[in-house]
Chain A
């Protein structure tokens, strides 16, 4: 036992690493080239955004909540606004719900394509990385046309939305999404059938269904191991009126996670088509009077998994507390579990498969 311990070395991974979109630090305990233990530490990008809720009134805080993260920004704005609306018992008009759903799915497409590019970069396939990001540009152009910003949408407000998607814009969206879908089939085929991709991803980082339950993983990370749980099934916003099933795979390795996330992009395009076909006419927002008082708790399905939003108001225009539990925080224990026993060269891939969004994890 002592001999083995003497052969162990601790190698630091991060916070700066080419494969990481955001800084996280892992201490990898290695025996020769095999990882035996992982000790994560976060805190490099903590900005104290939850404390800022005491200094910015609850209407203005939407703009701060959105900027928690650049990739999941619409989801954070949406979750915060929904939690405050639940606290104040505000009923949002139905057209606003559909618009929020459409933007939510567009955010999901952009996030998954970003992830697909990073994954391709992580196993060295840079050509595929650029192809994925070129497709993502089409999506970002649509978002800029409808909201005004590419990553930070700034269309949510307490009580509804600020901007409308006109019928002309809807036609453009449908056209461009069809083009995106056709090109995405090529990318999906490459991810799933290319020899070099399969060598790097099949059988690597396996998580069984029981392990997912024990460790509390969520989102596509859990769905790739056979757990059919998607918070959109709760029916918040307009999801109750749209028809979809959670995308599930049973293998539980990196290959299954690629499969689940890319199939979710196709599912999102389908959801946008359904929403645009069904969107009713109506107002965009309702006026909101008074201040939030009491607590409210909301869960939404971010691209990375289940995010929980909690607000507590005390009758003044400044909230008492805002707490956000991000999906990456729930997935990090799962990540550490998959790393035990793997080879050192697989570590970057295993970090990228949880789709880490560390800036939401430490606000």
Chain B
């Protein structure tokens, strides 16, 4: 049977009565946040590339990225300050800093606009084949062997894709009609001893294959 006391809490009560209150006198006394406090998201807008990884990763959908208008907007009231966008940003331009959102009358978005990127140089003229020269000037993609040069100057190596995907891409870019036979004529496999050099640049060592398969491969490549 434990002890029973009538005034067990009296000493604590008297101590509390005559000591400093535990309540902080906010807003007269400003808040001191610890260093790691998760308050709100800030962005270095000059470094943003509008990839929208942050918008895709936000659990609440508080971030909106517009690639055409080059804006990055956040609804601070929806933001949880979880920090996932900070982890996902490839350019590390987002930061989670202390300071909670102050109360306001209605939810609204805060928008930032980044400076427009410098215009890219025109598609390299030496790479474009003569037949499609006019196409690149008009802003279309061009095909040279297995390399597609897009209107914005970027290149794509089609040999990395499987055959169906390759056909799909060519169709999408409008390159599937004429260049195909040209590619075949240009890209034939060549045989150097035991090494077969394929049109996509890859090499195959026939000595590693069994005898029966070697014949099949050479026949397939039209080298026999």
Residues of A within 8 A of B (CB): 56, 59-60, 63-64, 67, 127-128, 131, 134, 137, 141, 144-149, 152, 154, 162-163, 186-187, 189-190, 192-195, 198
Contact = CB atoms under 8 A, between A and B. Distances in A.
29 contacts: A56-B59, A63-B59, A63-B80, A63-B84, A67-B80, A127-B13, A144-B34, A145-B34, A149-B37, A149-B38, A149-B81, A152-B80, A154-B38, A154-B82, A162-B83, A163-B36, A186-B12, A187-B12, A189-B8, A190-B9, A190-B12, A193-B4, A193-B8, A194-B5, A194-B6, A194-B8, A195-B4, A195-B6, A198-B2
Given A60-B59, A131-B16, A137 B22 contact: yes
A109 to B, nearest CB: 18
B3 interface: yes
B13 A193 contact: no
B75 interface: no
A180 to B, nearest CB: 13
A306 B155 CA distance: 56
B57 interface: yes
Contact of A148 (B11, B16, B38, B80): B38
Nearest to A259: B2
Contacts of A67: 80
A63 B38 CA distance: 14
Nearest to A147: B36
Contacts of A192: 2
Interface in B10-28: 11-13, 16, 22
A145 B9 contact: no
Nearest to B22: A134
Q: Which range holds the interface residue count of chain B?
A: 20 to 34
Interface class of chain B by DSSP = loop
Interface in B57-91: 57, 59, 80-84, 87
A63 B82 contact: yes
A127 B83 contact: no
Given A144-B36, A145-B34, A193-B8, 8 more contacts: A56-B59, A128-B9, A141-B34, A144-B37, A148-B96, A154-B83, A186-B11, A193-B5
A263 to B, nearest CB: 13
B2 A193 contact: yes
B12 to A, nearest CB: 5
Given A63-B59, A190-B9, A190-B12, A198 B38 contact: no
Nearest to A183: B12
Contacts of A198: 2, 4
Contacts of B11: 186
Contacts of B84: 59-60, 63
A194 B38 CA distance: 41
Nearest to B3: A193
Contacts of A131: 12, 16
A147 to B, nearest CB: 7
Nearest to A144: B34
Nearest to A154: B82
A149 B37 CA distance: 6
B26 to A, nearest CB: 14
A198 B81 CA distance: 44
A60 B54 CA distance: 12
B5 A145 contact: no
B121 to A, nearest CB: 37
A229 B205 CA distance: 65
B9 A127 contact: yes
A148 B37 contact: yes
A56 B83 CA distance: 15
A127 B16 CA distance: 10
4 closest Cβ pairs, A-B complex: A148-B38, A194-B8, A148-B36, A63-B82
B77 to A, nearest CB: 16
Contact of B9 (A144, A146, A163, A194): A194
Nearest to A66: B82
A112 to B, nearest CB: 19
A65 to B, nearest CB: 11
Interface string B193-208: 0000000000000000
A168 to B, nearest CB: 11
A60 B53 CA distance: 13
Which of B6, B84, B96 has most A Cβ within 10 Å?
Answer: B84
Nearest to A197: B8
A198 B16 CA distance: 23
B37 A64 contact: no
A213 B12 CA distance: 40
